[in-house]
Structure 1
Amino acid sequence: MTGTAPPAPDLVVDGTGLLCVQLLLKLRGQIADAPVSTVVHIITTDPAAPLDLPAWCHLTGHLYLGPISDPDREVYALRLTETARATRPDAPWRPA
């Protein structure tokens, strides 16, 4: 997202204190009924998030928008897509 302001979030998922598995479970649950084109900001303290979130977006087909500049916390953004692939509710890193 170089050179452009990040889009404002339609939904914020607070994953503070959660590691990858719990973060993805929470994220999947909160976006399950969200409409296409929803911009999601994910707050996280997981040091693996900069790798895990783009990988999960690649797996599911959602658009990873990248990190959001926030001096107080780590925030990443994604946009839900119409062509996203479903994942299992109990294992959001596995196809449904």
Structure 2
Amino acid sequence: MTARPAPAADIVVDGTGLLCVTLLLRLRAAIDGTGPGSVVHVIATDPAAPLDLPPWCHMTGHDYLGPVPDDDHRVFALQLAPGARHLYNSVRSGPCGCVLPGGCWGAGHDGVSAVRRGRAGRS
């Protein structure tokens, strides 16, 4: 099976230097008002980005397309879906300073692990 080339980007979100939820919040702000079917390339230096982006896409309803070959940056692609959910309309900061829906859930929270565990939105 041959890998398909990533579609060209309609939007590029530069998340260089951003960690955890900050990257997802920047992504959310960048795509606000962008139409379904748009392809977004996310430049990310956070080593957890390949773990964070697929579940974020799953929770919001967007399509995660995977890594994009790039010689200079770590780039990941997603495609915006019609009727996607907006998770960050009512956020509150948790004890660790994260801004997940409903805040965080305790000690050792890295800002995104609750999203990976499927607990986002619960208080």
Displacement of 1:8: 0.1
> What is the identity, as a one-letter code, of the residue corresponding to 2:50?
P
Say what the alpha-carbon RMSD is for the aligned residues: 1.6
Identical-residue share of aligned pairs (%): 56
1:4-83 correspondence runs (5 A)? 4-83=4-83
Q: TM-score, normalised by structure 1?
A: 0.89
CA–CA distance in structure 1, aligned partners of residues 65 and 82 of structure 2: 16
- Once the two structures are superposed, what CA deviation does each residue of 1:30-65 show, in whole Å capped at 9, x if it has no partner? 101100001000000000001000010011110000
Which stretches in structure 1 are left out of the alignment for 5+ residues? none
CA–CA distance in structure 1, aligned partners of residues 82 and 9 of structure 2: 18
Q: What is the total number of aligned residue pairs between the two structures?
A: 94
Displacement of 1:70: 0.6
Name the residue aligned to 2:96: none
CA–CA distance in structure 2, aligned partners of residues 63 and 20 of structure 1: 20
> What is the identity, as a one-letter code, of the residue corresponding to 1:13?
V
Q: TM-score, normalised by structure 2?
A: 0.71
CA–CA distance in structure 2, aligned partners of residues 9 and 20 of structure 1: 23
Consecutive aligned runs of 4 or more in structure 1 exceeding 6 Å deviation? none
The structure with the larger Rg is 2
> What is the identity, as a one-letter code, of the residue corresponding to 1:58?
H
CA–CA distance in structure 2, aligned partners of residues 70 and 47 of structure 1: 16
Which stretches in structure 2 are left out of the alignment for 5+ residues? 92-99, 102-114
